[in-house]
Amino acid sequence: MTDTAAAQPEPFDPRATDAEIQDLRARLRATRWPDAPEHAGWSLGTDVGYLRELVEYWADGFDWRAQEEALARLPRYRVGVGGLRIHVVHARAATGTVEPAMPLILTHGWPDSFWRYTKVVPLLTDPGAHGGDPADAFDVVVPDLPGYGYSDPPPQPLDSIAAAGLWAELMTALGYERFGAAGGDLGSHVSRYLALDHPGRVVAVHRMDAGLPVFGGDPAELSPEERDWIQSAMAWGATEGGYAAIQRTKPQTVAAGLTDSPAGLAAWIVEKLRSWSDSGGDVERSFTKDEILTNLTIYWLTGTIGSAMRMYAANAAIPPAQLARRVEVPSGFSIFQGDVVRPPRAWLERSTNLVRATEPPRGGHFAPFEEPELYAEELRAFFRPFRAAPG
């Protein structure tokens, strides 16, 4: 793939073959189950009892063809940038909304893909049809990160800085010089570097988290709230960060098992959907089985769990000086009540040009999927003052 293809987005409608679906079901039915201590539940990782229930439904109840049809209703393309074919949802504002609509690029994280934003696309492109103001419409761009979903895996792991550079090229290819950026998890990281490295193009940036804290100065300079937050983040890493240590250091080791076993893939991902969402311990309070399995099936069919995890290894090599840079582009945060490692306002003010920070009462790490109406309203409210700026 050469960069000369960058100007021509190609319509994209991937469909699994019958053989791929049959192979998936056969693997699920042949799962070799681990034992588990009595009454372990979720305390040691994924609950084997729940996993059995999910896998049985994946094998004999889940209708991937119906999910394919639903995803096909989104305007999906592949765009050549940086020598890679990037899969992107490019949904323009509904006819009759204020023109020109504000372009907005939304970046997902791990362990998901463009799936994270599928519910909010219509709310953002046509707010008038969903109880909002038509003047708040966006042209929405939702790419899969390289090595995630239907985007090509890069030859070598790419970090968030490189991904931000690709997104700048992508927005040029789609005809947008100025735009807003938003994201969570790795998508927060990428959106941050878009604002840092392309401040003349990013009108404003909205994030759902501030990442894990990195501070190389005198701790006495920090507020008590900031010091408490850093301590809590370290404690969270000690009890919940095993996945990240593996993905930073030895992703290929677990990739062998997760690429071969759909039950293993489900165990690796569903535990995060449960513990990072506002689920109260019941994953199906935040996601239906069909929604969980749509995310998992995208990973399975594309074979991207390994390439997705490798981004952690690339990000681990980002120099501390990059992590310490302050974002001067106008910044907003929605810190959802059910998310993990929630930063205090003092840290947001220290690290960004903060213009708005809210704490929505519901939703967690996957808020665009868990609470799409609430998340869409957060974006509308934040970007409203910046609508005169895009070009």
Is the distance from CB of 188 to CB of 208 less than 8 angstroms? yes
Is the distance from CB of 255 to CB of 261 less than 8 angstroms? no
Point out the catalytic residue in the list 108, 189, 198, 365: 365
Point out the catalytic residue in the list 136, 152, 159, 185: 185
Q: Which residues does residue 181 pair with via DSSP β-bridges, in sequence order?
A: 105, 205
For the sheet with 84-91, list strands across it. 10-11, 76-81, 84-91, 138-143, 102-107, 179-183, 202-207, 327-334, 352-358
CA dihedral sign, ordered 133, 75, 107, 290: positive
What torsion do the CA atoms of 183, 254, 243, 212 make, to the nearest 10 degrees?
-50
Where would I find the H helices in 277-371? 289-302, 305-316, 320-323, 345-351, 367-370
Dump the DSSP string for 189-209: HHHHHHHHH-TTTEEEEEES-
Q: Angle between the 160-173 and 186-197 helix axes, to the nearest 10 degrees?
A: 70
Q: Exposed e or buried b for every residue in 23-41, given b needs 16+ CB within 10 A?
A: ebbebbeebeeeeeeeeee
Structure tokens at 16: 């699994």
Cα–Cα dist 166/324, whole Å: 22
148 is catalytic: no
185 is catalytic: yes
176 is catalytic: no
Point out the catalytic residue in the list 278, 312, 339, 375: 312
Which residue reads 């070598």 in tokens?
A: 156
* 202 phi, psi to nearest 5 deg: -90, 115
Cα–Cα dist 381/369, whole Å: 18
Is the distance from CB of 293 to CB of 56 less than 8 angstroms? no
Cα–Cα dist 121/381, whole Å: 16
- Show which residues are catalytic: 185, 312, 365
